C-alpha cells in the first residue's frame, strides 16, 4: 500500500471567477448581418408601442397594447379578450416550436443573433468600444489604477449604459398603456407605482446583464443553451474550427518555413480576441459558444491576408465534419435542412399557426353565457306558473354599441322579462343595448306553465340587430317542481 | 490540545488543528455571501425586535415601538372600508326608501349590500336562496302577505311581524276555529278554500263551505278569498301555500290558526342595512311598484289588534 502516490492533482475550485472578456471589433459578412438584425429587433422593440391604429372612438388607438387594467390585448386588427387567451398560448407554443425548428436546422442561431441578451450585450459593447477604445485599450484601462482618466471614462460609460438601460425599461411599460399618455404621466409623476417599479427593475437588469454579466447570463443563468444542446443533432449547424485543415497550427513564420508540417491555422488568436463570450472555438463545440459567427469573420479576414481560402472556421454540421475529414463530400445544404426532424417541427409549427388563423376568422364577436339560479332552482308564482331565474352575460366584443335581441326556443308557453321589467309585459324576446367592447350582465326571469317535464332543455339565443353577425346560444334547463302524484 | 494547525496541501486551506485517527478537519471559511446574509438577518432581527411585538411576557408580548397589533390593523382596515363606503351609505341614509327603485345605481348598491346582510340575518328562516320553507314565506315569488313594494317590505323589516313588545309591529291574529265551528263545518270550509284554487271540484260540500266562509273568514280573507294585506291575510285563491294546501294541513290551520312571527330589525340593524335588505328582497323577482300615492307607513301598520279581533269575533 505504501507504494501508492498521494493524489497531487489540483482540485478545480467550485466557483470560477469571471475572466474579463474584451471582444475586439471585427467586420465581415456575419458582423453586418448582426448589425441589421440588431437594428431591426431594437427598432421593433422601441417603435412598436408608438404605432397608432384607428379602432374608432370606443377602443384605444395603439396598435399593440396589453391592456391589463381592462383585460384586453390588442394587436393591430386583432383584439383578444381574456377568455380567448388560448391565442396567446398558441403564440407561445409556436414561439417554442419555432425555436426547436431553428435550433435543429441552424443550431443556436437564436442565441447568436436575436436573443435580447445578445443584442443588448452587443449594443453595450459597441458603446464600450466607443468610450474606452478597442480590446487592447480596454485591457490597459482595466489594469490601470483609478486615476482621473479611468474614473471619467468609467463614469461616462456607465452613464451611457444606464441611459440605454433606462430607455429599455421605459419602452417596456409602453406596451401596457397608451404610450403618449404614459410618457406624460411618467415624467409628471402621475404614473402608477408599478410603472416606476417596472422601469426601475428593467433598467437595473439591463444595466447589470448587458454591462457586467454578459456571457455569464448565457453560460450560467440561461436554461436555453442546455435545452438546445439536447435538441441539436449531428445535422445541426455549428460554428466549427476545421481542425483537419487548421492543424498542426503554428505561426506564419514557422508555416512558411515548413509548409508540410503545418496546417492553415497560424495561431493568430483573432478568433479568441473577437469572441464576445471569451472562448476558444478551436477547442471544439462548447456551451459557451453562442454561434454569433464573429470568429468566422475574423478568421476569414486573416485567411484572405495570408492568401488561403476562407472558411477555416465556418458553419458546418458534425456529419459534414466527419465526412470531409474522411475525404468524402459534404452533404448539400438543402439536404441537411430538409430532414424528418425539421419537417415535423415545421409541420407542427405551421398547423398551430393555420389552426389559429382559421379560428380567428371563425370567431364570433358576440358571446352569451347563461348561469341558472341554483337556489332556488324554481319559484312557483301565484297563478301556478313556474319561474326560473337566469343570469345572462352578453359579451359585445365589437368596438361599437349594439342592440342585442335575446330569444328563447323550445320552451312552450314561456315568456321572459328582466329585473327592471314586469311580468305583465313579458314577451318571447327581450333586447338590450350593449355598450361597445363590454360585458352586459342581466338577470332574466323566465316563466312557463307548470305542465311539462321536470327538466326541460331549451335554448337561449342572442343575436345582434346589425344583422351582419352570427349570434350565440346556450342550452339550459328549465326546472319544475317534482310532480306530487 | 497542541497546536497542530497546518496548511492542507490539496486544498490550500488551514486545518482546525484536531486530528482523530488521521482524520482532520479543514477550517474552510463560510462563503462571503453567506456571512453577509447571516449578519443582515441578525441586524434585521434586532430591528424587528424593536419595532414589532416580539418577546413573550406573562400576559402579553412586548409592544414594539410601532405599537402594531393585528387587531389594530383590522380596525384600521375596517375604518378605511367604512370610509370608502361612506358616499353610498350616506346617500342610502338620506333617500326615502320608496324612491330607491328610481335610482338605478343606488338601488344596485343596496341590493348587493342587502345580499350580504341577508346571508347573515335572514337565511336562518328564509333560507340562503330566500326560498323559505313551510311557515316561512318564499321571498322570490309574487305573493306577499303584507305587501311587496319597497315601502311595505321596509316596514315589515323595520317593525317585524307580531312582535309583542312593539306598538308599530305588523299584527293580526287568525282565531282558532276548533270549538267555534263543528268538524263538519271545518271540513266544508276547507273544501271550499281548496276549490278556490282548483284543488277540489265544486260540490254540495263546497257550497256549504262557501256560506261558512262568508260568515267567518271573509272579513279578513275577503269575500272572494283574495286576502287582505292590511291584516297579512293570505290570498287563498292562488297556487302558493305558506303551510300547505292539502286537506290535512288546511284542517289543522283552521282548527288551530297560524300566526308566524318575524323579528323587528330596527333595534338590531342600522337603518341603512334595513333599506339594503328591503331592496334585496324587492329585487328577487316578486318586487312590486309602490301604489300610486305613497301612504305613510303608519297607516299600514297602525291597524290595532283590537280592531282585527273585533272583526274576527263577529
**Residue of B239, B279, B282, B289 best to disrupt the A interface, most CBs of A under 10 A:** B239
Report the number of distinct structural domains present in chain A.
3
**Residue of A6, A8, A379 best to disrupt the B interface, most CBs of B under 10 A:** A379
User: At residue B261, does pLDDT exceed 60?
Assistant: yes
Q: Name the residue in chain B with its Cα closest to that of A390.
A: B285
Q: Name the residue in chain A with its Cα closest to that of B131.
A: A376
Domain membership of residue B64 (yes or no) is no
Residues of B in contact with A9 (CB under 8 A): 10
B1 is written with which cell numbers? Answer: 490540545
Q: Name the residue in chain B with its Cα closest to that of A446.
A: B285
Q: Which of B10, B142, B238 lies closest to A7 in CB terms?
A: B10
> Based on the domain organization, do A223 and A253 belong to the same domain?
no
Q: Which of B10, B141, B197 lies closest to A379 in CB terms?
A: B141
User: At residue B29, does pLDDT exceed 90?
Assistant: no
> Based on the domain organization, do A455 and A430 belong to the same domain?
yes
**Strands (E) located in A397-454:** 402-409, 415-418, 429-434, 438-448
Query: In this complex, do A380 and B239 lie within 8 Å of one another by their Cβ atoms?
Result: yes
The domain that holds B299 is classified in CATH as: 1.10.760.10
The domain that holds A433 is classified in CATH as: 2.60.40.10
Cα dist from A29 to A130, A298, B98, whole Å: 21, 10, 82
* Residue-level pLDDT at A343: 94
Q: Name the residue in chain A with its Cα closest to that of B236.
A: A382
> Based on the domain organization, do A306 and A255 belong to the same domain?
yes
Q: Name the residue in chain A with its Cα closest to that of B140.
A: A379
Q: How many CB atoms lie within 10 A of CB A80?
A: 20
* Residue-level pLDDT at B310: 37
Is residue A387 less than 8 Å (CB to CB) from chain B? yes
Residues of A in contact with B11 (CB under 8 A): 11
Assign B311 a pLDDT band (cuts: 50, 70, 90). very low
* Residue-level pLDDT at B2: 52
* Residue-level pLDDT at B178: 92
Domain membership of residue A180 (yes or no) is yes
Query: In this complex, do B239 and A11 lie within 8 Å of one another by their Cβ atoms?
Result: no
Is residue B141 less than 8 Å (CB to CB) from chain A? yes
- In the block, residue with C-alpha cell 434586532: B46
Mean pLDDT, residues B22-29 taken together: 88
Burial of A483 from C-beta contacts in 10 A (0-12 / 13-18 / 19+): exposed
Domain membership of residue B178 (yes or no) is no
Closest by CA position to A405, among listed A362, A454, A465: A465
> Based on the domain organization, do B112 and B250 belong to the same domain?
no
Domain membership of residue A335 (yes or no) is no
Domain membership of residue B73 (yes or no) is no
Domain encompassing residue B130: 98-170+261-313
* Residue-level pLDDT at A1: 44
> Based on the domain organization, do B146 and B281 belong to the same domain?
yes
> Based on the domain organization, do A147 and A277 belong to the same domain?
no
Query: In this complex, do A387 and B141 lie within 8 Å of one another by their Cβ atoms?
Result: yes
Q: Name the residue in chain A with its Cα closest to that of B288.
A: A422
Share of chain B above pLDDT 90, in %: 75
pLDDT average per 10 residues of sequence, chain A (485 residues): 57 76 94 96 96 91 93 91 91 94 90 95 95 94 92 96 96 95 94 95 96 92 89 89 90 87 91 94 91 95 93 92 88 86 95 95 89 92 92 91 92 89 86 91 93 91 79 91 70
Query: In this complex, do A376 and B11 lie within 8 Å of one another by their Cβ atoms?
Result: no
Gap from B286 CA to chain A (nearest CA, Å): 9
Share of chain B above pLDDT 70, in %: 92
* Residue-level pLDDT at B293: 56
> Based on the domain organization, do A85 and A122 belong to the same domain?
yes
- In the block, residue with C-alpha cell 313551510: B134
Gap from A290 CA to chain B (nearest CA, Å): 30
Query: In this complex, do A382 and B141 lie within 8 Å of one another by their Cβ atoms?
Result: yes
Question: Each residue of B177-233: pLDDT tens digit?
Answer: 999 999 999 999 999 999 999 899 999 999 999 999 999 999 999 999 999 999 999
Q: Name the residue in chain A with its Cα closest to that of B138.
A: A379
Q: What angle do CA B12, B14, B18 make, to 5 degrees?
A: 135
> Based on the domain organization, do A154 and A58 belong to the same domain?
yes
> Based on the domain organization, do A47 and A136 belong to the same domain?
yes
Domain membership of residue A17 (yes or no) is no
Q: Which of B237, B256, B275 is the last residue of a domain?
A: B256
Domain membership of residue A1 (yes or no) is no
Gap from A456 CA to chain B (nearest CA, Å): 21
* Residue-level pLDDT at A469: 65
> Based on the domain organization, do B24 and B37 belong to the same domain?
yes
> Based on the domain organization, do A96 and A151 belong to the same domain?
yes
Gap from B58 CA to chain A (nearest CA, Å): 43
Q: Which of A299, A326, A353 is the last residue of a domain?
A: A326
> Based on the domain organization, do A106 and A183 belong to the same domain?
yes
Domain membership of residue B75 (yes or no) is no
CB B89 within 8 A of CB B100: no
Query: In this complex, do B11 and A11 lie within 8 Å of one another by their Cβ atoms?
Result: yes
Domain membership of residue A349 (yes or no) is no
Residues of B in contact with A419 (CB under 8 A): 283, 285
* Residue-level pLDDT at A248: 86
> Based on the domain organization, do A252 and A399 belong to the same domain?
no
> Based on the domain organization, do B273 and B213 belong to the same domain?
no
Residues of A in contact with B128 (CB under 8 A): 375
Domain encompassing residue A302: 238-282+289-326
Domain membership of residue B88 (yes or no) is no
CB proximity list for A43: less than 8 A, separation 6 or greater: none
- Mean pLDDT over each residue of chain B, to the nearest integer: 89
* Residue-level pLDDT at B296: 46
- In the block, residue with C-alpha cell 435550433: A103
Closest by CA position to A400, among listed A56, A32, A156: A56
> Based on the domain organization, do A84 and A174 belong to the same domain?
yes
> Based on the domain organization, do B149 and B4 belong to the same domain?
no
Distance, in Å, from the CA atom of B19 to the CA atom of B27, rounded to the nearest integer, reads 13
Domain membership of residue B63 (yes or no) is no
Query: In this complex, do A383 and B239 lie within 8 Å of one another by their Cβ atoms?
Result: yes
Closest by CA position to B131, among listed A388, A443, A441: A388
Burial of A291 from C-beta contacts in 10 A (0-12 / 13-18 / 19+): buried
* Residue-level pLDDT at B82: 93
Domain membership of residue B80 (yes or no) is no
Q: Name the residue in chain B with its Cα closest to that of A15.
A: B31
> Based on the domain organization, do A123 and A203 belong to the same domain?
yes
Query: In this complex, do A387 and B239 lie within 8 Å of one another by their Cβ atoms?
Result: no
Domain membership of residue B297 (yes or no) is yes
> Based on the domain organization, do B148 and B4 belong to the same domain?
no
Is residue B235 less than 8 Å (CB to CB) from chain A? yes
Is residue B238 less than 8 Å (CB to CB) from chain A? yes
Report the number of distinct structural domains present in chain B.
3
Interface pTM, i.e. ipTM: 0.76
- A to B CB pairs, distance under 8 Å: 55
Q: Which of B129, B238, B240 lies closest to A376 in CB terms?
A: B129
Query: In this complex, do B138 and A383 lie within 8 Å of one another by their Cβ atoms?
Result: no
- A434 forms beta bridges with A402
Amino acid at each position: 500500500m505504501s507504494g501508492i502516490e498521494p493524489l497531487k492533482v489540483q482540485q478545480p475550485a467550485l466557483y470560477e471567477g469571471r475572466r474579463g472578456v474584451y471582444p475586439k471589433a471585427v467586420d465581415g459578412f456575419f458582423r453586418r448581418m448582426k448589425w441589421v438584425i440588431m437594428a431591426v429587433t431594437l427598432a421593433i422593440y422601441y417603435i412598436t408601442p408608438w404605432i397608432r391604429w384607428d379602432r374608432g372612438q370606443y377602443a384605444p388607438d395603439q396598435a399593440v397594447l396589453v391592456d391589463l387594467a381592462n383585460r384586453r390585448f390588442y394587436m393591430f386588427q386583432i383584439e383578444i379578450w381574456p377568455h380567448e387567451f388560448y391565442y396567446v398560448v398558441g403564440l407561445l407554443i409556436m414561439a417554442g416550436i419555432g425555436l426547436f425548428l431553428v435550433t435543429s436546422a441552424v443550431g443556436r442561431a437564436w442565441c447568436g443573433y436575436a436573443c435580447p441578451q445578445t443584442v443588448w450585450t452587443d449594443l453595450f459593447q459597441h458603446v464600450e468600444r466607443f468610450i474606452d477604445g478597442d480590446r487592447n485599450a480596454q485591457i490597459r484601462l482595466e489594469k490601470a489604477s483609478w486615476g482621473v482618466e479611468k474614473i471619467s471614462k468609467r463614469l461616462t460609460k456607465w452613464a451611457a449604459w444606464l441611459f440605454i438601460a433606462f430607455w429599455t425599461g421605459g419602452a417596456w411599460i409602453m406596451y401596457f398603456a397608451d404610450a403618449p399618455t404614459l410618457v406624460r404621466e411618467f415624467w409628471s409623476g402621475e404614473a402608477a407605482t408599478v410603472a416606476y417599479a417596472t422601469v426601475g427593475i428593467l433598467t437595473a437588469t439591463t444595466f447589470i446583464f448587458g454591462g457586467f454579466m454578459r456571457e455569464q447570463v448565457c453560460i450560467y443563468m440561461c436554461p436555453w443553451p442546455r435545452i438546445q444542446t439536447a435538441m441539436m443533432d449531428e445535422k445541426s449547424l455549428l460554428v466549427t474550427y476545421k481542425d483537419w485543415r487548421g492543424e498542426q497550427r503554428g505561426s506564419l513564420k514557422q508555416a512558411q518555413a515548413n509548409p508540410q508540417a503545418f496546417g492553415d491555422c497560424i495561431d493568430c488568436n483573432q478568433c479568441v480576441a473577437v469572441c464576445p463570450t471569451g472562448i476558444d472555438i478551436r477547442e471544439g463545440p462548447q456551451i459557451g459558444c453562442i454561434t454569433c459567427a464573429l470568429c468566422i469573420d475574423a478568421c476569414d479576414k486573416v485567411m484572405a491576408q495570408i492568401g488561403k481560402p476562407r472558411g477555416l472556421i465556418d458553419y458546418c454540421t458534425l456529419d459534414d465534419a466527419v465526412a470531409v475529414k474522411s475525404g468524402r463530400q459534404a452533404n448539400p445544404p438543402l439536404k441537411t435542412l430538409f430532414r424528418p426532424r425539421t419537417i415535423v417541427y415545421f409541420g407542427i409549427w405551421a398547423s398551430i399557426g393555420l389552426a389559429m388563423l382559421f379560428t380567428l376568422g371563425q370567431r364570433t364577436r358576440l358571446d352569451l353565457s347563461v348561469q341558472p339560479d341554483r337556489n332556488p332552482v324554481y319559484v312557483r308564482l301565484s297563478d301556478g306558473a313556474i319561474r326560473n331565474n337566469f343570469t345572462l352575460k352578453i359579451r359585445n366584443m365589437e368596438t361599437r354599441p349594439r342592440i342585442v335581441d335575446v330569444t328563447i326556443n323550445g320552451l312552450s308557453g314561456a315568456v321572459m322579462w328582466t329585473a327592471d321589467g314586469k311580468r305583465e309585459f313579458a314577451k318571447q324576446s327581450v333586447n338590450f343595448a350593449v355598450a361597445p367592447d363590454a360585458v352586459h350582465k342581466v338577470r332574466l326571469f323566465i316563466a312557463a306553465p307548470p305542465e311539462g317535464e321536470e327538466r326541460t332543455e331549451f335554448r337561449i339565443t342572442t343575436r345582434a340587430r346589425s344583422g351582419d353577425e352570427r349570434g350565440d346560444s346556450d342550452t339550459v334547463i328549465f326546472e319544475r317542481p317534482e310532480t306530487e302524484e | 490540545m497542541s497546536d497542530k494547525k497546518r496548511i492542507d496541501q490539496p486544498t490550500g486551506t488551514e486545518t482546525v488543528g484536531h486530528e482523530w485517527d488521521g482524520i482532520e478537519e479543514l477550517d474552510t471559511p463560510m462563503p462571503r455571501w453567506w456571512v453577509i446574509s447571516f449578519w443582515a438577518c441578525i441586524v434585521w432581527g434586532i430591528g424587528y425586535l424593536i419595532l414589532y411585538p416580539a418577546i413573550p411576557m406573562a400576559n402579553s408580548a412586548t409592544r414594539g415601538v410601532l405599537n402594531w397589533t393585528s387587531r389594530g390593523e383590522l380596525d384600521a382596515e375596517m375604518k378605511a372600508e367604512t370610509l370608502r363606503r361612506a358616499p353610498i351609505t350616506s346617500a342610502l341614509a338620506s333617500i326615502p326608501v320608496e324612491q330607491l327603485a328610481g335610482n338605478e345605481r343606488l338601488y344596485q348598491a343596496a341590493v348587493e349590500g342587502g345580499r350580504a346582510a341577508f346571508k347573515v340575518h335572514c337565511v336562518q328562516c328564509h333560507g340562503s336562496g330566500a326560498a323559505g320553507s313551510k311557515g316561512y314565506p318564499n321571498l322570490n315569488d309574487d305573493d306577499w302577505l303584507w305587501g311587496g313594494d319597497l315601502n311595505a317590505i321596509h316596514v315589515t323589516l323595520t317593525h317585524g311581524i307580531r312582535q309583542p313588545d312593539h306598538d308599530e309591529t305588523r299584527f293580526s291574529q287568525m282565531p282558532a276555529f276548533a270549538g267555534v265551528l263543528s268538524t263538519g263545518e271545518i271540513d266544508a270550509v276547507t273544501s271550499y278554500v281548496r276549490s278556490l284554487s282548483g284543488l277540489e271540484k265544486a260540490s254540495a260540500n263546497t257550497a256549504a263551505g262557501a256560506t261558512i266562509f262568508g260568515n267567518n273568514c271573509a272579513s279578513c280573507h275577503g269575500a272572494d278569498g283574495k286576502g287582505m294585506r292590511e291584516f297579512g291575510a293570505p290570498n287563498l285563491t292562488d297556487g302558493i301555500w305558506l303551510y300547505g294546501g292539502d286537506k290535512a294541513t288546511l284542517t289543522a290551520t283552521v282548527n288551530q290558526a297560524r300566526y308566524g312571527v318575524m323579528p323587528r330589525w330596527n333595534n338590531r340593524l342600522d337603518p341603512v342595512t334595513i333599506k339594503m335588505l328591503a331592496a334585496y328582497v324587492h329585487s328577487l323577482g316578486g318586487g312590486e311598484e309602490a301604489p300610486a300615492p305613497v301612504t305613510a307607513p303608519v297607516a299600514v301598520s297602525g291597524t290595532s289588534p283590537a280592531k282585527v279581533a273585533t272583526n274576527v269575533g263577529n
